[in-house]
Amino acid sequence: MNKKALDLTTWNRKEHYEFFGAFDEPFFGIVSTVDFTKGYQKIRENGYSYFLYYLHKAVKAANNIEPFRYRIEDDMVYVYDQVHASATIGREDHTFGFSFMKFNKNFNEFEKNALKEIEAVKNTTGLRHNENAKRKDSLHISSIPWYNFTSISHARHFHYKDSVPKISFGKYTKKGEEMQLPISIHVHHGLMDGYHVGLYLEEFQRLLNEDL
């Protein structure tokens, strides 16, 4: 869990950070779609888990776009060397629990460890809101595979000074010859703007299209 403090005195977003940091709700969100055609084909050819495949790409993209590794702690901004996935996992009784999936650049290693975590969640009850689930060096990720969406909001506790990005995925659908995957991204406006979310979406798309 390595991190370093950002020098706010020389940061070109210092005023933005102070301005949006004073808001009751400093998060903003966008919903978009990505072309899932090549990723879908690779999953079908190799028997991968749909969720874990795009989850791995989503976390890898976040690690490649620095502002997605910024976190606010004690009125300081820290840059983590690496971030991981805190994903909600559904159970057969229609409840869910929080998980913590450590990122690994190698998909097969990531998948192996993630499957163990998924099994652990499914064999327990309750939220599993443990210390791992509360880690700041993570992304809050959820999947809503039952339907497509064009908008989404999140339950928020405004008294808790949160700065962890929240990423949600919907049901992928076919449009013409293209498979489309809806994605929602909510981030702290003091740490980044729409430009940075755009960089993230470009990187996520690039990773979906590349080989493992």
Q: What is the pLDDT of residues 109-168, one digit of tens each?
A: 999 999 999 999 999 999 999 999 889 999 999 999 999 999 999 888 877 889 999 999
Judge whether 182 and 147 are in contact, CB under 8 Å: no
> What order do you get walking across the sheet with 70-73 strand by strand?
3-5, 76-80, 70-73
Task: State pTM to two decimals.
Answer: 0.95
Measured CA to CA in angstroms, residue 84 lies from 45, 79, 92 at distances of 26, 14, 25
Q: Residue 212's pLDDT band (boundaries 50, 70, 90)? A: low
Residue 13 structure tokens:
């977003």
Quick one: 102 exposed, middle or buried, by C-beta within 10 A (0-12, 13-18, 19+)? middle
Residue type, 13: R
27-209: CATH, from 1.10.490.10, 3.20.20.80, 3.30.559.10, 3.20.20.140: 3.30.559.10
Q: Which of 56, 154, 157, 189 is catalytic?
A: 189
Residue 44, CB-side half-sphere exposure with 13 Å CA sphere: 7
157 is catalytic: no
